[in-house]
Amino acid sequence: MSGPSPLTLFRRLAIAEAVTWALLLAGMFLKYVTQTTELGVRVFGMVHGVVFIAYCLTTVLVAVDQRWRPGRLVLGLVSSVPPFMTVWFDRYAEARGALGTEWRLLHGDPASATDRPVAWLLRNPLRGVLAGLVAVAALTGVALLVGPPAG
């Protein structure tokens, strides 16, 4: 696979999630403080929601491949809720050696039920990207059906 390493992929999503948080907060400022427009919340809320879902899916993918303990996975997922914490978690995980520069399951034997689908995604990069896009779209659709956060 010539795509990004676990470290690079995770870092890109962590930064994108933080950037979309900043844009959403700017939109909320315009809506609630200056009361000038709701457009920022509508647009950046949707963008943030999509990137949030992509970050969470990427966190699970990397956690399985890099053999994170369940507590680290939960911390990675929870870090997507407060603004900008994904960047902190990225640095935290890298400092502890949890974000490698190689995909373990790209060539190694998948030993568990969770390893097998991740290995398939990594070994079939075009199908893996397509599966990821479909998953993000499906989860975004579910989120839209449930409705926007109150406020």
pLDDT tens per residue, range 52-103: 999 999 999 999 999 999 999 999 999 999 999 999 999 999 999 999 999 9
Say whether pLDDT at 138 is over 80.
yes
The answer to whether position 124 is within a domain reads yes
Q: Could you tell me the pLDDT band of residue 19, with boundaries at 50, 70 and 90?
A: very high
Q: What is the mean pLDDT of residues 104-128?
A: 95
What span, in angstroms and rounded, lies between the C-alpha atoms of 66 and 73?
A: 10
What span, in angstroms and rounded, lies between the C-alpha atoms of 116 and 124?
A: 12
Say whether pLDDT at 30 is over 90.
yes
Q: What is the pLDDT of residue 147?
A: 83
The answer to whether position 42 is within a domain reads yes
* Cα→Cα distances 121→5, 33, 70, 108, 146, Å: 14, 44, 21, 13, 28
Please state the domain count of the chain.
1
Say whether pLDDT at 3 is over 90.
no
The answer to whether position 1 is within a domain reads no
Q: What is the mean pLDDT of residues 43-49?
A: 95
- The residue range of the domain holding 82 is 6-146
Q: Could you tell me the pLDDT band of residue 149, with boundaries at 50, 70 and 90?
A: low
Query: Across the chain, what does the average pLDDT equal?
Result: 95
The answer to whether position 151 is within a domain reads no
Say whether pLDDT at 1 is over 50.
no
